[in-house]
Structure 1
Amino acid sequence: MLKNIDPLLNADILYALASMGHGDEVVICNAHFPADSVARQTVLGRVLRMDGVGAPRAVRAILSALPLDTFVDDPAGRMEVVGDASNLPAVQREAQREVDEAEQRAMPFAPIERFAFYERAKQAYCVIATGKARGYGCFIFKKGVMLAPDTAEGGTR
C-alpha cells in the first residue's frame, strides 16, 4: 500500500498512467466492451483490469492521478447511447460527478458514437476494464500536463 495513492491503482495501472504522455488517451470500460481485442491494438497492447468496481469508481481512481488536458475542448468523452445521443444513463451521470469533482469544475463529457468510440479506443495508450456490466459505462480521457514551478537555472529543489 502506498500513501496517498488510491488502492485501486495497481502497479500495472500506475505504470501505464505514468508512461502516458501529454495527449495520450486512456479508456475506462465496462464488462460489455470488447476490452481484450481493442486493447491489443493500443500502445500498451494488453488490457489492464480493475475488477470488482464500476466505471464511476474507476474514474475517481484514475483521475486522482491523471491530469486532464486543458489544451483541448473535450478531454473527457463518453460512449453515446445507440439511437439516443442525448441520453445520459445513471452510470454516465455518476461518472460525470467524479470528473467534475476531480477537476473542481463542470467538465461535460463529449458524446462519441459507439463505433467511433471503438475506433478511437484502438488508438488509446491503454484500456482499463472494470468488472461491472452496467451499460454505457465506457469513457475516454486525454492526459494533460502538470507544470512544475520554475527553479533556479541548473538547480532543483
Structure 2
Amino acid sequence: MLKGISSLISPELLKVLMEMGHADEIVFGDGNFPAASHAQRLVRADGHGIPELLKAVLPLFPLDIYVESPVALMAVTPGDTIETPIWDEYRQIVKEHHFKAIELEEVERFAFYERAKKAYAIVSTGEKALCANVILKKGVVVE
C-alpha cells in the first residue's frame, strides 16, 4: 500500500500509468469491450466501474492540453436507442481533475476500436453501462 494512491489502482495499472509518455493513450473498456483481442498491454480491473477508476486515476494522470480533446468516447451507433447518462458522469469527473474546460470527443465505434488497438494499454473493467468506453490521452506533468 502507498499513501495517497487509491487502492483501486493495482500495481500493474500504476506501472502502466508511470510508463506512459506524453500523447500515449489508455482505454478504459466496459464489460462488453473486446479488450483482450485489442490490447497491446491488458490491465484487468474486473469488478470495478469506469467512473470510480477515473476518479482514482485522474488525480495522478495529466490530460494532454495540446489537443482539442484528450478524452474520447465510443459513440452510440446511429439508430441505437442506447442512453448514455454515464457520459455526464465522465464530464463531471474530468471537470474536477482538469484545469482547462474540454469537450469530450465522440468517436465512431469501429474507428474507436482501431484507435484502441494503437493505445498504450487497455484497462478491462466490470463496467455494466453500455457505450461506456473511454480513451484518455496523457499530457505532461508540469508541477
Please report the TM-score for the alignment, with normalisation by the length of structure 2.
0.92
Aligned counterpart, 1:144:
139
Q: CA deviation at 1:23?
A: 0.5
Aligned counterpart, 2:30:
30
Contact 1:30 1:135 in 2 (8 A): yes
Give the 5 Å matches for 1:58-97: 58-83=53-78, 89-97=84-92
Contact 2:68 2:102 in 1 (8 A): no
Aligned counterpart, 1:111:
106
SS of the residue 2:66 aligns to? coil
- Which deviates more, 16-25 or 96-105? 96-105
* Shift in alpha-carbon separation, 1:21–1:56, aligned structure 2, 3 A: same
- Which deviates more, 13-22 or 127-136? 127-136
Aligned counterpart, 1:17:
17
1:105 and 1:88 map into 2 onto residues whose CA distance is 27
Identity across aligned pairs (percent)? Answer: 39
Q: Which amino acid aligns with 1:9?
A: I
Q: CA deviation at 1:84?
A: 6.2
2:140 and 2:86 map into 1 onto residues whose CA distance is 27
Contact 1:89 1:136 in 2 (8 A): yes
Unaligned 5+ segments in structure 1 are 149-157
* Shift in alpha-carbon separation, 1:10–1:90, aligned structure 2, 3 A: same
Please report the TM-score for the alignment, with normalisation by the length of structure 1.
0.84
Contact 1:55 1:91 in 2 (8 A): no
- Work out which of the two has the higher radius of gyration on C-alpha atoms and give 1 or 2: 1
Please list every run of at least 4 consecutive aligned residues from structure 1 whose deviation after the TM superposition is greater than 6 angstroms: none
1:139 and 1:82 map into 2 onto residues whose CA distance is 15
Q: Cα RMSD over matched residues?
A: 1.7
